[in-house]
Structure 1
Amino acid sequence: MKPLLPVLLFGLFLMQGCTAPPDDSAATENKDITLQEYHDSSNRADELSGGARMIKISTPKGDFNLWTKRVGNNPTMKVLLLHGGPGGTHEAFECFDSYLPTEGIEYYYYDQLGSHYSDQPNDTSLWSIPRFVEEVEQVRKALGLNQDNFYLLGHSWGGILATEYALKYQDNLKGLIISNMVSSVPAYNTYADEVLGPQMDPQVLAEVKQIEAKNDFTNPRYMELLLPNFYTQHALRMPIEQWPDPVNRMFNHMNQTVYVQMQGPSEFGIRGNASLLHWDRSADLPKIKVPTLTIGGQHDTMDPEHMKWMSTQVQQGRYLHCPEGSHMAMYDDQKTYFTGLTQFIKDVDSGTMQK
């Protein structure tokens, strides 16, 4: 579920504003908002900072500040983006700027606690699923999102977090998007062992496994092997030198402490004593009643058939398959990804959602 470099990796600081919900009182109820209305930030709490604001949250270990940034205005379609990692950043979502504004969809960048522009406490007890779920709920309240407008999109680790949030707080949601994440880490590990591994050159795989067996993850040879033989095949299907700038920046800003504690040091599945090792919500998917889109790539690190299956288990599901896509399908199968994503959001908004 992490795409890429461990040293950077897996899956930015503006001025601190007030934490009151934005004032949407002037928003029109007409869903076909004009371009001027979409870009009008007058009388918004974040007008001064161009949509960016710090939100204060409470945790068992004290209060912390989280960075968020709003793009656009739409009273009925607001998407909160949950980045991957754990410990990644919002930067990998920057390609959304090329698609969602033209569709009139409002969206929010957000660095989770421990990530880039947000506070980065050293207390490892904070890196747990329940604590992250409560963080998302506090962010939702601060941004004024509710069941009339709130779409939650989680990519990779963010897909785990979005699933957990929906299972506890789905009454606050209008729609759910689980991007490039299966509902079971054990199933993910099996797919990596039985499907992805055999696709690699046997000698390369043997050397990777040897390095992992020695816990020699800082060995430069590890990434030297994985980048051309695994990442450019299943994480982001582009030559390394062509990887988009937002993706490179995200990897450079990855919080390795959070990542390794929850995901583990291996780049070939979730292993060791990682806290996510036994995560599995497959049996709970039928409890999710809100319209749900699952997205998978043909070349994903995650099993696309499992992600398709997930869409049949929730009560109102749809699957989006990206035939050219990998784990970062929003980049290597971009048109498919965004056409399907925006169609889902608009179908839910108009009440015409079908599988």
Structure 2
Amino acid sequence: MRRFLFALSLGLFAMPAAMAADPPPLAQYHARDGRADAWQGGVRMIPIKTPVGEFKVWTKRVGNNPRIKVLLLHGGPGATHEAFEAFDSFLPADGVEYYYYDQLGSYYSDQPDDPKLLTTDRFVEEVEQVRIALGLDKDNFYLLGHSWGGILAMEYALKHQDHLKGLVISNMVSSIPAYNKYASDVLMPELDPAALAELKQLDAARDYANPRFEELLIPHYEHHVLRRPISEWPEPVVRSFMKHLNKKVYVPMQGPSELGASGILADWDRTEDLSKITVPTLVIGARYDTMDPKYMEMMSEKLPKGDYLYLPNGSHCAFYDDQDAYFAGLLKFLHRVDDDAK
């Protein structure tokens, strides 16, 4: 079959990630490679031009691989790269070079308070400026977007895929109306009826600062965002989504919660444009995701070079709660695309 479905029954996930391919020698992986970022431990503040002025965004390089360089687009919007720190436990052992990156408005980057900056087109141009500054191109450049980052990754590919070697859409559907329908038809009915009624009252009053609003959503977050009690959530996730989330970005674009979207992105839909993305693309979906896993599988079938990774134990943050399966599938995809390009 032209397309493949990664599954536990293949036995792939029992293998250590590093066995998927021979990594570069350790000295090569940690080589500075003539780059000036050694002084900053791989960190660079990259100047970004916008319609309202010039700002800086934070990036950090890990590793050195001339053929596989992954730029990570975090979720939110308005969260941070920090939730991706679990990648440190898997990608270095496999020799993959990757870049953390806080988008404009996020904690480690500049945080201008201007609604004119909150458009997908402007974020796409920001990613393109970051790509140029980092020297990434079609011979090595993989873009991985999670959640809102998946929206941004799709938009980037539709405009700049000539610079891409591969694309990963992690835990994101290509239609916000479809996301909202799934939330309404499947996720909301799972909530206690009294809790759902109170949530709707708070929403109607726009009383999002009320502590009850977040309290009532905890069962949803623990079942569909990251499948652990919130008291046990990994510290990088707590930093990214709780301590460092910029709600001046998140709320206008997404809305007040992860239970559907009601902000600027509410009408966003690129499903009919997926056939225009011709680079190898991996779509990652999970059984307990906030997004419909069958919809994400359908997306992979619309993509000319699409594959689907289904995670039977995962939720929206499947790189934590179905971790071994997530990274085994991701690394297999990265190396397969690289092998096909040789």
What aligned pairs does 1:96-111 form with structure 2 within 5 A after superposition?
A: 96-111=87-102
Q: Measure how far apart 1:291 and its partner are.
A: 0.2
1:214 aligns with 2:208: no
Per-residue CA deviations over 1:97-127 (Å, capped at 9, x if unaligned) read 0000000000000000011111111111011
1:282 and 2:271 equivalent? yes
Report SS of the residue matched to 1:46.
helix
1:246 matched to 2:236: yes
- Is residue 330 of structure 2 the alignment partner of residue 350 of structure 1? no
Cα deviation, 1:11-42, whole Å, max 9, x if unaligned, reads xxxxxxxxxxxxxxxxxxxx852111001115
Whether the 8 Å CA contact 2:289–2:316 is kept in 1: the answer is yes
User: Does the 8 Å CA contact 1:322/1:336 hold for their aligned counterparts?
Assistant: yes
Q: CA deviation at 1:242?
A: 0.7
Amino acid at match of 1:188: Y
Deviations 1:168-217 (A, max 9, x none): 00010000000010000000000000011112222222222222122221
Q: Which residue identity lines up with residue 306 of structure 2 in the other structure?
A: G
* Unmatched segments (≥5 aa) in structure 1: 1-30
Q: Which stretch of structure 1 is more off in the superposition, 301-310 or 262-271?
A: 262-271
How many Å apart are 1:266 and its aligned residue?
3.9
Does residue 62 of structure 2 align to residue 62 of structure 1?
A: no
Counterpart position of 2:309: 320
Query: Is the contact made by 1:289 and 1:316 (CA closer than 8 Å) also made in structure 2?
Result: yes
**Mapping for residues 161-180 of structure 1, pairs under 5 Å:** 161-180=152-171
Contact 2:23 2:94 in 1 (8 A): no
Q: In structure 1, how many angstroms separate the alpha carbons of the residues matched to 2:33 and 2:258?
A: 45
Aligned mates of 2:293, 2:279 — CA distance in 1: 21
Q: Which has the higher helix share?
A: 2
Query: What is the rounded CA distance, in whole Å, between the counterparts of 1:123 and 1:197 in structure 2?
Result: 33
Q: Deviations over 1:296-348 (max 9, x none)?
A: 11000000011111100011011111111111001011001101001100000
**Equivalent residue letter for 1:130:** D
- Which of 115, 128, 146 is residue 124 of structure 1 equivalent to? 115
- Residue 267 (structure 1) shift: 3.7
Determine which of 204, 213, 227 is the counterpart of 2:195.
204
Asked if 1:235 corresponds to 2:254, the answer is no
2:236 corresponds to which letter in structure 1?
P
Amino acid at match of 1:334: Q
The residue matched to 1:191 in structure 2 has which SS? helix
Counterpart amino acid of residue 276 in structure 2: K
Report if aligned partners of 1:212, 1:266 keep a CA contact under 8 Å in 2: no
Distance 2:81 2:205 in 1: 33
Q: Is the 8 A contact 2:30 2:64 kept in 1?
A: yes
Matched, 1:158 2:149: yes
Contact 2:33 2:64 in 1 (8 A): no
Distance 1:189 1:264 in 2: 12
Question: How far apart, in 1, do the equivalents of 2:99 and 2:258 lie?
Answer: 29
Q: Distance in 2 between matches of 1:270 and 1:114?
A: 19
The separation in 1 between residues aligned to 2:185 and 2:201, in whole angstroms, is 17
* Alpha-carbon distance in structure 1 between the residues aligned to 2:250 and 2:195: 25
Given the two structures, how large is their TM-score scaled by the length of structure 1? Answer: 0.88
- TM-score, length-scaled by structure 2: 0.91
Structure 2 counterpart of 1:333: 322
The within-5 A match list for 1:2-17 is none
SS in structure 1 opposite 2:282? strand
Q: Cα RMSD (Å) of the superposition?
A: 1.5
Q: Which moved more, 1:126-135 or 1:196-205?
A: 196-205
Does 37-46 or 277-286 show the bigger shift? 37-46
